[in-house]
Amino acid sequence: MGNLVTIRDIDVPFWRIVMILVKWSIASIPAMIILMLLASLIAAIVGVILAAIGVHVPTPPTPTP
């Protein structure tokens, strides 16, 4: 099976962890933009398909004052 290894302690400075989290946050921005564009594209395609086959999605009523 191989040798088993047990890690007992990891010593990482606090500011190094902060920098890793900042980098992850910055890297997630383009990823979220890409995911939103893909979701919008899929929603548009589904909307076009539903409109082409004649499915009508009613709009919610507007509240009266």
Question: Residue 35's closest CA among 43, 25, 46?
Answer: 43
Question: Residue 57's closest CA among 26, 13, 65, 46?
Answer: 46
- 37: confidence class by pLDDT, cuts 50, 70, 90: very high
Q: What is the mean pLDDT of the chain?
A: 91
**In this model, does residue 1 exceed pLDDT 70?**
no
Residues 11-35 have pLDDT tens digits of 999 999 999 999 999 999 999 999 9
Q: Kindly report the pTM of this predicted structure.
A: 0.59
Would you say 42 and 49 are in contact if contact means Cβ atoms under 8 Å apart? no
